[in-house]
Chain A
């Protein structure tokens, strides 16, 4: 019995900050209301519709791109041998070992060089890159876990490897795909530093940049209530996605993808 109580207590403790954030976001000096949200959306440096559209665009590009690259790459690593395979895999994992601050200026310069500066596409490419270690690792393991017979029977029936991939394999690694897509969405939705450095025009700013602007002030007061409204606003789509896709990504993890 005590174990159940302590488990429940822990769960409440974990949920507390999010619940508090939602509660604080609707607290006004006179009780409760949506005034903080109104400030969030209408104040000078608050969130605008274009910010949301930009964020959604970046998310779509990042999720789509990550799924594409990670699926093809995961298939390659999981099922084929080719020269440079190990080197490429290690390089991909090495992305985890480099801090943002280091590489951001170099990326800024690089994007300038290929003409993608101050563009949502350029930003998305960078975000895809940051997603690759987790995504490729996940997809590689997911593909490896598929029994060889499945693929072989498709090949015997006359499919090319691509056909086998799209018709049979993709279905088998669906939980992995959903997990990869979900995490790609989460990180690209809440990215702060990359959009800050790589985007120049206010017209291209993402929602996260607008929310952080709520924090800044010149020796003045931080608008904490509006800030928490911003945090809650950012968290809600992610929480919803999380809850809806729960079964899939848990299965994605469970499918042995991250056993090590």
Chain B
């Protein structure tokens, strides 16, 4: 055998051997008791969508601490690949944030360090967004804390409401009323449409349709996130309602193809009456809009209120050598100063339920409404959330598109089994 080949085979076996033995990972947090603010440089990874908030946190922290946090942001779609590669090479950063719905998966894979004791020692632990905290939990241990909060609400165009003869200060309190309002606005004709949704975006309508199911007392999964119940009465009714709106032309025809990128643009155009959307868009839409925007909680068919508490979670990378310092940063982000001066001041939603009304939010009652929703909303918990619901190749995509545009009953039935199979992986 050629010498070159022999050499490479030997190197291969060596490498494989080294990797196998070195792959005994595990957390090693309390290696040396160092002072928490010892002047370490901490690397923080986040996704492009969350970049500005992470950087705001880091800037404020760096100004008042010896530790310095460096933020690196990656393109949203490729961020999971980046994390997986780094984990595979056992080279995770000191801190990394992720979409909260991925938190159970990352927690179960041990990508974050166990912070149960540290978290329970916090005086504010009960006021930290409970839905997020639950998502960062695996096998009764905590691995992540909330980083940003983004909730789904109904946004409506007050001017169009007035034109359609609806009271702009009295938004709908049930999904049925929402449909009626959408129909009224749609009657204005032209290129005005009653409502809009992401008909080709799994992540979007998980965010916007599920709260209606929760508000009606139903659910889309079992508590452990291992079985799907999308064929339940509540979910079927919600789909039927939106389906009808689409078939009547009340929902903009472009909704069918909406995969996410042009969703905001559609709402900014001022031609949509009322639609469920991320609460963070209130500010963005108002900035450029010539119309006034109103907020209402998402409700169930006959009433009730709920929301999808989305956003990002953050934890300490499992291979970090600066666990104590990283925790110092995390604990600081949950404190009053960070939540009020960084998040609330920047028009974000505080991750602390007791800070829903703060000196910045009280100026705008709509913000207070949004902030208070956090206590009423849920974050769905599932280890295999991404592959099951978010990813364009997910079974959820097939299921909801069938429910909205195809054979509804069959899609929901088949979907429930396909989803359950995926959740169990």
Contacts and interface: CB of A to CB of B under 8 A. Distances in A.
Interface in A88-117: 88, 104-105, 108-113, 117
A171 interface: no
Interface of A: 44-45, 83-84, 87-88, 104-105, 108-113, 117, 193, 196-197, 200-202, 209, 212-213, 215-222
Contact of B75 (A44, A88, A215, A220): A215
Nearest to B22: A113
Contacts of B93: 200
B91 A105 contact: no
Q: Which residue among A104, A117, A216 has the maximum number of chain B CB atoms within 10 Å of its CB? A: A216
A83 B84 contact: no
Given A113-B18, A200-B72, A88 B264 contact: no
Contact of A221 (B48, B150, B262): B262
Contact of B264 (A108, A197, A220): A220
B89 A117 contact: yes
B384 to A, nearest CB: 20
A220 B52 CA distance: 15
Given A220-B264, A222-B261, A84 B4 contact: yes
A217 B49 contact: yes
A220 B82 contact: no
B260 interface: yes
A87 B5 contact: yes
A230 to B, nearest CB: 13
A88 to B, nearest CB: 7
Interface of B: 2-5, 15, 18-19, 43, 48-52, 70-78, 81-82, 84-86, 88-91, 93, 150, 198, 201, 203-204, 207, 260-265, 268, 278, 281, 284
20 contacts: A45-B73, A88-B4, A104-B85, A108-B86, A108-B88, A112-B90, A117-B91, A196-B81, A197-B82, A200-B93, A209-B75, A213-B48, A216-B76, A218-B278, A219-B198, A219-B201, A219-B203, A219-B204, A221-B268, A222-B261
Given A87-B4, A197-B85, 18 more contacts: A84-B2, A84-B3, A84-B4, A109-B88, A112-B89, A197-B81, A200-B72, A201-B43, A202-B71, A213-B75, A216-B77, A218-B48, A218-B49, A218-B50, A218-B278, A219-B203, A220-B263, A221-B261
A105 B84 contact: yes
Contacts of A220: 49, 261, 263-264, 281, 284
Contact of B48 (A110, A117, A201, A216): A216
Nearest to A85: B2
A83 B3 CA distance: 8
A28 B48 CA distance: 25
A47 B49 CA distance: 17
A44 B51 CA distance: 9
Nearest to B312: A218
Given A45-B73, A219-B198, A112 B91 contact: yes
B18, B48, B203 pick with most chain A CB within 10 angstroms: B48
Which interface residue of B88, B90, B281 has the most chain A CB atoms within 10 A? Answer: B88
B371 to A, nearest CB: 20
A202 B84 CA distance: 18
Contacts of B207: 219
A105 B73 contact: no
A48 to B, nearest CB: 13
A123 B422 CA distance: 36
A217 B201 CA distance: 14
A221 B4 contact: no
B85 A105 contact: yes
